[in-house]
Amino acid sequence: MVADAKVKVAVRDLTIRYGEDVALSDVSFDIHEHEIFGIIGPAGSGKTSFLRALNRMDEFTTGMAVDGRIVLDGHDVSEWRNLYSLRRRIGVVFPLPVGLPLSVYENVALAPRLAGVRKKSELDEVVERCLRRAALWDEVKDRLDSLGSLLSGGQQQRLTIARALSQDPDLLLLDEFSIAVDPVTTMRIEDVLKELREEVTIVLVTNLVQQARRLADRTAFFLTGELVEVAETEELFTGTVRDQRTRDYVEGRFG
């Protein structure tokens, strides 16, 4: 990673609480433009809470409170006047495929329609482009009118990625995207993500440390609400990390 890479997301003194429980405590780090930024750590370490705060899901999560700053392209996300304009810039892929009760075509076309695209030729172009980017086009091009829910689990997850890309985000958040996907499909999606790095900034939350090693340019290790350290990913796996807890986690001694 180039030392002077542009900062896409700046996190400063971020604390996240659910009532009296602290999910993430006073963390600060930067995410660079056009990198895959991995976040690893055991369950309950604050990884998903960070994604929720970045996408301002706290406004829809009872008891969730966010202190500190998350700055996207120089603008504090908490001060974004139009929440939906913020979310159009941030695509999210959840652990389990969340297919809308629509056809394959309409799953991908929905966001462009909501953004004002009306011409069928333009929608066709968006749908094909996004399905191709998600490595799904060849498998579904002859059944675009079929329900997305009839696809296999791996295909539904790639449809979810296509739908996230259809809003033309410049930041893509992935939360355990492969938890319900077979290994072959997981590798296909990983290949897609490597290509997408050229177009978007990707934040990858994963419990699979080897997945972070395969994909992430840099990786942050969260543990019980603390940011233990951030480093070039390969440094975390070659014994050059500063904190013994990181070494123990990536070597499988706990987690």
**Which of 24-38, 189-203, 204-218, 229-243 shows the lowest mean pLDDT across its residues?**
229-243
Any domain includes 65: yes
Domain contains 107: no
Does the residue 157 lie in any domain?
no
Whether 11 is in a domain gets the answer yes
Confidence category of residue 66, pLDDT binned at 50, 70, 90: very high
Q: What confidence tens digit (pLDDT) does each residue in 210-248 have?
A: 999 999 999 999 999 999 999 999 988 887 767 889 888
CATH of the domain at 48: 3.40.50.300
Average pLDDT over residues 58-83: 90
Is the pLDDT at 71 greater than 70? The verdict is: yes
Mean pLDDT of 140-165: 92
pLDDT reading at 1 higher than 60: no
Number of independent structural domains in the chain: 1
Cβ atoms of 48 and 24 closer than 8 Å? no
- Mean pLDDT score, 90-119: 88
Mean pLDDT computed over every residue of the chain: 91
Q: Work out the average pLDDT over 6-11.
A: 96
13 inside domain:
yes
Does the residue 45 lie in any domain?
yes
Task: Give one word for 10, left, alpha or beta, with left for phi > 0 and alpha for psi -120 to 50.
Answer: beta
Query: Residue 4 has what pLDDT?
Result: 64
Whether residue 159 is contained in a domain is answered as no
Angle of helix 120-133 relative to helix 153-165, nearest 10 degrees?
A: 120
Of the candidates 41, 42, 49, 56, the one whose C-alpha atom is nearest the C-alpha of residue 21 is 49
Q: Give the residue with greater pLDDT, 242 vs 37.
A: 37
Contact criterion met (CB below 8 Å) for 139 and 155: yes
Domain, as residue range, for 16: 1-89+216-255
Q: Say if strands 75-76 and 171-175 run parallel, antiparallel, or are unpaired.
A: unpaired
